[in-house]
Amino acid sequence: MSTGNQFSNSLAAADIATGLHPYTNARLHETKGPLIMERGEGIYVYDISGKQYIESFAGLWSVAIGFSEPRLVEAATKQMQKLPFYHTFNHISHEPNIRLAEKLVEISPEQFTRVSFTNSGSEANDTVIKMVWYVNNARGKPEKKKFLARTKGYHGVTMASGSLTGLLNNHRDFDLPIIPVIHLTTPHLRTSGHDGETEAEFTARLLKEIEDTILAEGPETIAAFIGEPLMAAAGVLVPPAGYWQGVEALCRKYDIFLIADEVVNGFGRLGTMFGSTYFRFKPDIMVTSKQLTSSYMPLAAILFTEEIYDILADNTAKIGTWGHGYTTTGHPVATAVALENLKIIEERDLVGNAARVGKVFMENLQQLSSHCLVGDVRGVGLMAAVEMVPDKSSRKGFSQFGKAGGKAFASALQNNLIVRVLGDQLIFCPPLIITEEQALEVVARARTTLEEVADFVS
């Protein structure tokens, strides 16, 4: 994959000799080698040969403010110089930790009054599982342990958060799931709808499935429902109208905690500050990460209600502690960077930009629908998918799953475009700073890529 002379290049050789990459076929990597990135500037990144790419996936759905923001460098440097590390165990705190929690409460939906930090989205979801179990034990409902999640949902890769994830490759040969979890139907009409089913009928069927499952398992055993407001890694799947309102009503009816995993949706991705704001529902717990620091530093934040806090806090008083926390919980450099990042998102109205540029981006991506390979174009804000199919009149995929996608990724790179490929879908999630003109350039490069894939598969 690497441009230039990867086998005489000592970096590539060292990578092949010593690395194990996430989400990579290790044996293939030994022959293919790495694409080595060197620097970033705005929405662009450059590999070690100096080749420039538009990064239309914001790294991993995450770099809201672009790849070269000096204010974040300054915030990190200042904090490094002042207090590079301190922990938050045993009543200890520091200013960036306090200010960031305060800021998150200020900008999030009103029910959220409390914040807890972790280093990654996976750890955050892991912590949430423990938090829900701890709280249910504390309020005398120890049987309430099961989680409801969705097939194709993504919630991370630790033993417990990976159990919530509903994707085959995150379970097989890892002996997951290890916690009690039920994966329900993926809430996306094109993916899971029956032939001829209307959106309203589909929503009703999904909600019936949830309620039937709760009743079959016993409401007294169901702890929480977790979902991404708009499913990201599943392929940018927009839920049907009324779905989230129905889920919320069922959670209230059966005393089930509702958890919004906003690791991708959070901080403006959909053109609103949070995904639950866009879809108009009220979770009890919200998990955020990625755009919280634009991934310049590892950090995740869990927001939750005062009601949950009170039960939890009372239990800590009873047993003596909340026996949970990481060495780097609320890390001073990460929280200082997050504060500056959120300030920039606000000052530059990047949430508004996501809505405005997202609209133009989607309108232009929609024009790709007439292409012979394109079966569906969908998205919200600055998050979109273009699904490639062999036959537009059918929802069926290619007989060799991922072949068109693999070619598309390689062609896009040739066209100086980094796009995420999931199976045979092209996924776009550009930095929130993208301009209209740059968004149109992404579409133009995607069109050229599709032409090349069409020649390849025909």
* Residue 150 dihedral angles phi and psi, to the nearest 5°: -125, 145
Q: Which span sits near ligand PLP by CB under 6 A: 142-150, 169-177, 227-235, 346-354? A: 227-235
Q: Is 283 in the site for ligand PLP (CB under 6 A)?
A: no
Q: How far is the CB of 125 from ligand PLP (least distance, A)?
A: 6
Residues 160 and 127: beta-carbon distance below 8 Å: no
Q: Is 229 in the site for ligand PLP (CB under 6 A)?
A: no
Specify the residue, 2 or 119, whose C-beta has the smaller distance to ligand PLP: 119
Q: Is 266 in the site for ligand PLP (CB under 6 A)?
A: no
Specify the residue, 120 or 272, whose C-beta has the smaller distance to ligand PLP: 120
Specify the residue, 214 or 333, whose C-beta has the smaller distance to ligand PLP: 333
DSSP conformation letters of 199-217: HHHHHHHHHHHHHHHHHHH
- How many helices (H) and strands (E) would you count in the chain? 16, 15
Q: Can you tell me whether residue 147 is helix, strand or coil? A: strand
Residues 6+ apart with CB under 8 A from 172: none
Q: Cα angle at 183 between 179 and 189, to 5 degrees? A: 160
The dihedral through the CA atoms of 26, 174, 128, 263 has a sign that is positive
Q: Is 294 in the site for ligand PLP (CB under 6 A)?
A: no
Specify the residue, 125 or 415, whose C-beta has the smaller distance to ligand PLP: 125
Number of residues lying near ligand PLP (CB under 6 A): 14
Q: Which residue is listed with tokens 């949070």? A: 274
Q: Is 232 in the site for ligand PLP (CB under 6 A)?
A: yes
Which residue number is nearest to ligand PLP in terms of Cβ?
121
Q: How far is the CB of 234 from ligand PLP (least distance, A)?
A: 10
Q: Which residues pair with 417 in a beta bridge?
A: 54
Q: How far is the CB of 60 from ligand PLP (least distance, A)?
A: 6
Could you say which DSSP state residue 193 is in? P
Binder among 122, 272, 415, 438 for ligand PLP (CB under 6 A): 122
Q: Is 263 in the site for ligand PLP (CB under 6 A)?
A: yes
Interface mask (CB under 6 A) for ligand PLP, residues 146-185, using x and -? --------xxx-----------------------------
Specify the residue, 135 or 300, whose C-beta has the smaller distance to ligand PLP: 300
Q: Is 259 in the site for ligand PLP (CB under 6 A)?
A: no
Sheet holding 52-55, edge to edge: 37-41, 44-47, 52-55, 417-418
Residues 350 and 302: beta-carbon distance below 8 Å: no
Binder among 69, 261, 284, 340 for ligand PLP (CB under 6 A): 261
Nearest to 39 by CA among 27, 23, 55, 18: 55
Q: Is 289 in the site for ligand PLP (CB under 6 A)?
A: yes
Q: Are strands 285-288 and 417-418 parallel, antiparallel or unpaired?
A: unpaired
Residues 341 and 73: beta-carbon distance below 8 Å: no
Binder among 228, 248, 340, 387 for ligand PLP (CB under 6 A): 228
Residues that bind ligand PLP (CB under 6 A): 120-122, 125, 154-156, 228, 232-233, 261, 263-264, 289
